[in-house]
Amino acid sequence: MVFAIVLTIACFAGVYWGFQRHSAIVHGIYWLAKTHSLGEAPAPLPEFTASDEQIQAVRERWQDFEQRTRAGQPAQIELSADDINSMIAASREARGKIFVSINGNQLRLQASVPLGEFLGRPGYYFNGDITVEFKGAESLEIRS
């Protein structure tokens, strides 16, 4: 009984000390719990199926883009939400866990990833819904 009381006090003291010392782990766990990003069930994601031809066309465009950039040539690629979802569908690791949608200047990423694959403890999922808003077309070039 005394051990249980001392252990409880040590746990509370550790959490308090972690918050006072800005522990990234403690703050990360607190943030995940507060935003309900960890769940015992996967979040529902829209289904997306891509044809083999569609996946191959996107892969060819992407490979052409990569070859040009590696060769130091100017390159540009535009991907629609269907193109990105086709690339996701082609990946065994990401298929059914991530979905992308584009609405105007907003990119929305929905994810539901089983944490058992990373932690070895099944039954928990990282569920996230992120929206990024762009102000317009911008170059990725470094400006002086």
Are 24 and 51 members of one domain?
no
**Cβ count near 81 (within 10 Å):** 15
Between residues 50 and 60, the one the model is more confident about: 60
- Which long-range CB contacts under 8 A does 97-106 form with residues at least 24 apart? 97/45, 98/45, 99/45, 99/46, 99/48, 101/46, 105/133, 105/134, 105/135, 105/136, 106/131, 106/132, 106/133, 106/134
Look at the chain and report how many structural domains it folds into: 2
Please check the confidence at residue 144 and state whether its pLDDT lies above 60: no
Q: What is the pLDDT of residues 76-105, one digit of tens each?
A: 898 899 999 999 988 888 888 999 999 988
Structural domain contains residue 143: no
Give which of 135, 139, 117 is closest to 126, Cα–Cα: 117
Work out the pLDDT band at 137, boundaries 50, 70, 90. Answer: low
Residue 49 domain-assigned (yes or no): yes
Residue 138 inside a domain? The answer is no
pLDDT tens digit sequence for 102-111: 998 888 999 8
Pairing assessment for the beta strands 125-133 and 98-103 based on DSSP bridges: unpaired
The tokens for 15 are 């959490």
If asked whether residues 19 and 53 sit together in one domain, one would say: no
∠ CA(29), CA(32), CA(35), 5° rounding? 145
In a domain, 89, yes or no: yes
Is-above-0.95 flag for pTM?
no
Is residue 142 one of the residues assigned to a domain?
no
Residues of the domain holding 23: 1-34
Question: Does residue 47 sit within a domain?
Answer: yes
Residue 48 placed within a domain: yes
| 99 and 82 co-located in one domain | yes
Q: What's the pLDDT band for 21 if we cut at 50, 70, 90?
A: low
